């Protein structure tokens, strides 16, 4: 099971019968989602990593297929995305 799948399972466990009006439940969910933002996804295949990026991007340039090839050649830790119109320096 990947780290992302484990995180999803923890959230589903929290939500199972939880009262979202309780501060403790909300704090647990916030803690899990905050931790997920810096989650190491290197245990996912290149295709799974590219699908995650593609699913959250407005437009993926050059393409998800190129991202898969690049990830296979040189594993990368994704820390964010370049905003639309931003230029690399």
Domain boundary assignment for the chain: 3-37, 42-77
pLDDT above 80 (res 20): yes
Exposure string of 9-23, with b = 16+ CB inside 10 Å and e = fewer, is ebeeebeeeeeeeee
For residue 76, give every residue at least 6 positions away whose Cβ sits within 8 Å of its Cβ, in sequence order, or none.
70
Report the distance separating Cα 60 and Cα 58, nearest Å.
7
Mean pLDDT of 24-29: 94
pLDDT of residue 84: 46
pLDDT above 80 (res 67): no
């Amino acid at each position: 099971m990947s780290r992302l799948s484990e995180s999803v399972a923890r959230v589903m466990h929290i939500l199972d019968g939880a009262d979202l009006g309780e501060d403790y439940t909300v704090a647990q969910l916030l803690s899990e989602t905050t931790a997920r933002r810096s989650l190491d996804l290197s245990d996912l295949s290149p295709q799974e990593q590219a699908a995650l990026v593609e699913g959250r991007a407005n437009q993926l340039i050059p393409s998800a297929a190129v991202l898969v090839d690049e990830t296979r050649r040189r594993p990368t830790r994704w820390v964010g995305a370049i905003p639309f119109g931003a230029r690399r320096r």
